[in-house]
Amino acid sequence: MRALICRAWGEIDTLEMGEMVPPVPGPGQVLIDVVATSANFADTIMVAGRYQTKPEFPFAPGLEGAGRVAAVGSGVTNVKPGDMVMAKLEHGGFAEQAVASATETWPLFAGMNCADGAAFLVAYLSAHLALRWQGRLEAGETLLVLGAAGGSGLAAVEIGKAMGATVIAGASSDERLAAVREHGADHVVNYSTEDLKGRVLEMTGGEGADVCFDPVGGDLFDGALSSLGWGGRFVHFGFVGGVPQVPANRLLVKHRSAVGSSYRYFTKYKPDLLARSMVELGDFYSQGHLHPIITHRRPLEDGVDALRLLTERKAFGKVIVDVAPELEV
């Protein structure tokens, strides 16, 4: 099968197109003919050897995908060959076939195409888990989203609105903020030119936000933490801008909390909450609240370019890699 192959840890430019032996589904696994996959910043970390899991060489990156079920292993009952599905992958989306756990494979929502399916799980499911279960966001609260023009940020904006929150979206340019406004943000702040804390306090009448969703980290952390009100919850979701240090005293003085949100935690320890999140997301999607933002598409042969759009921060929303679009039904 054709694949974008990683043969040694390094930069994304070391990836090369080639042929790999197709995977075989084991018990509890699903073999998928990949129609589309999504480029994620975590793919670049995996290729560099700095990800939390390290696949054996050679492997194809790609943490999510959508396509047609080709075969299932023993014990799989939730999908069958021929079904159109989306799946969270350990790796392998940048290949014509990939294997996923049946517990992380779901039929496409009604009306959903493979591009939307490939753009959905890393952004929307992960953001929902973070907001619903870690941030404990409630209707009527105020949500601050950093990196709001990125894939997970835009997902958090839409999910926050669907959950009934007032959403303040932060991004680094007016162009990105214009796109964020189109997807439901109530207020926006350009944290490259404006004081983040001051603007959030102004927008909330001095009360501060209730929840902050932060996929960025780095220098934004201090201002974002200070913009939370009494009992505010800070959800660490990523650190593309650097790993911040959490000052415990600033949590204590206003009864704030700071928590991480890991998709892997829910798959391993809280599969019931994972399932509940997917049900709620399906409802939100069918009601028209969620619209995966796909700003770039590339064929599999240009997979390195798709990843480069992320490392050079030239993309907002999601970057889709079309692997076998002719398989879409």
| Cα–Cα distance, 55 to 35 (Å, whole number) | 22
The answer, yes or no, to whether the previous bond of 55 is cis (omega within 30 of 0) is no
DSSP-assigned beta bridge partners for residue 213:
145, 235
Instruction: Label residue 21 exposed, middle or buried (CB < 10 Å: 0-12, 13-18, 19+).
Output: exposed
pLDDT of the residue at 172: 85
pLDDT of the residue at 241: 58
Distances (CA, A) of 82 to 29, 72, 173, 186, 252: 15, 10, 44, 42, 54
Helix (H, G, I), strand (E, B) or coil at 153: helix
pLDDT of the residue at 129: 98
Encoding tokens for residue 171? 């991004």
Stated as kind and residue range, the H or E segment containing 308 is helix 303-311
Task: Kindly give the pairing relationship between strand 16-19 and strand 2-5.
Answer: antiparallel
DSSP-assigned beta bridge partners for residue 36:
66, 322
pLDDT of the residue at 242: 62
Helix (H, G, I), strand (E, B) or coil at 97: strand
pLDDT of the residue at 183: 86
Question: Are the beta carbons of 280 and 271 closer than 8 angstroms?
Answer: no
Encoding tokens for residue 310? 């992320």
Instruction: Label residue 23 exposed, middle or buried (CB < 10 Å: 0-12, 13-18, 19+).
Output: middle
Domains delineated in the chain:
2-120+292-327 (3.90.180.10), 123-265 (3.40.50.720)
pLDDT of the residue at 120: 96
pTM for the predicted model, two decimal places: 0.89
> Largest Cα–Cα distance in the chain?
60
pLDDT of the residue at 317: 75
Per-residue pLDDT of the chain in tens (329 residues, 90 and over written 9):
999 999 999 999 999 999 999 999 999 999 999 999 999 989 999 999 999 899 999 999 999 999 999 999 999 999 999 999 999 999 999 999 999 999 999 999 999 999 999 999 999 999 999 999 999 999 999 999 999 988 889 999 999 999 999 999 998 888 888 888 988 999 999 998 999 999 999 999 999 999 999 998 778 888 999 999 999 999 998 776 566 777 777 888 899 999 999 999 999 999 999 999 999 999 999 999 999 989 899 999 999 999 999 999 887 778 999 999 999 87
pLDDT of the residue at 141: 98
Closest residue by Cα to residue 53 from 88, 6, 91, 98: 91
Distances (CA, A) of 206 to 171, 199, 201, 202, 262: 21, 10, 4, 6, 31
